[in-house]
Amino acid sequence: MTRDKPPQRPVRRDADAPRRRHYSVGGQVFEAPALAGGLYLVATPIGNLRDVTLRALEVFAAADLIACEDTRVTRKLLDHYGIATPMTAYHEHNAAEARPRLLARLAEGAAVALASDAGTPLISDPGYKLVRAAREAALAVTPLPGASAVLAALVSSGLPTDRFFFEGFLPPKEAARRARIGEIGRIPATLILFETGPRLAAALADLAAELGPRSATVCRELTKLHEETRAGDLVELAQAYAAADPPRGEIVIVVAPPDPQTRQADAADIDALLRAALRRTSVKEAVGEVASATGEPRRAVYQRALEIAKEDGDGAA
């Protein structure tokens, strides 16, 4: 069996670094330590520029290149801290073309920092393909933790934090959005969603229709000047945002997990529907009926149908 190669960490050559690699904080200038070659995943502030870490500033200043979603956005952060590292765009529209060039630089021993417009890279952006390719090439990958809108919203929501599920953006069309809400709504965890201002009221209305009056929190413009957090149940929040103009800024919705008793009742209802269907039709047709009626995944319904058939001594398959 072939053993995996250890990650390569070639040290950058002195000839590659003619520019001064420094950053400034509070008017004081600091020299960034030399950086080994590899891909660095650097979290950036989600709003307040002071939420950047000192390690992030060091890596940005010492890197040979910064790959970022929008160079104009990242330039504001770099200018604020006096960093002059070259940048290149890496986003969903140019990733296929830009990725080979970045991998070539990494293979040459360059230190490349990957950043998103805000927060931790790879969360709702194409960076994971670059990370996967770098690891497949046995190149070093180093994460630098920092700001995250997902975690900031979760810990400020007042909802359970021991288990959570991050969905990202729901589908923009109502039918697909409701179907997806029905799927994730059964997950026994706090749900975290991203949403846009123009779609917020519709998304909350669909969440309320599918999940009922669960507790929820809408977090807007976290860490920014106009930061706002509104808590309530989904029905109340849907009504409130439907009656107001669409909000501006970045929005995170946090929804409480389903009540355990409700989940038990749902399971009992599914069993009852399956038993009734199995008395008059085949397992395959019964599964189709119940899956369509409840929105449960067909695979889960099929497994339960086989168990019920066995328990009842039916044996049909």
Q: How many domains does the chain contain in total?
A: 3
**pTM assigned to the model:** 0.77
The amino acid occupying position 136 is: E
Higher pLDDT, 231 or 291: 231
Q: Are residue 182 and residue 58 in the same domain, yes or no? A: no
pLDDT for res 17: 46
- Residue 261 belongs to what H/E stretch? helix 260-278
What's 47's domain CATH number? 3.40.1010.10
Residue 223 lies in a domain: yes
Structural domain of 86: 14-147
Position 315 confidence tier, pLDDT thresholds 50, 70, 90: very low
pLDDT at 13 over 50: no
Position 183 confidence tier, pLDDT thresholds 50, 70, 90: confident
Residue 224 lies in a domain: yes
Q: Are residue 70 and residue 135 in the same domain, yes or no? A: yes
pLDDT for res 79: 97
pLDDT for res 36: 97
Average of pLDDT values for 130-142? 97
Q: Are residue 111 and residue 30 in the same domain, yes or no? A: yes
pLDDT for res 147: 94
Long-range contacts of 299-303 (CB under 8 A, 24+ apart): 301/270, 301/274
Residue 3 lies in a domain: no
How would DSSP label each residue in 15-32?
A: GG--S--EEEETTEEEEP
Q: Are residue 122 and residue 222 in the same domain, yes or no? A: no
pLDDT for res 86: 97
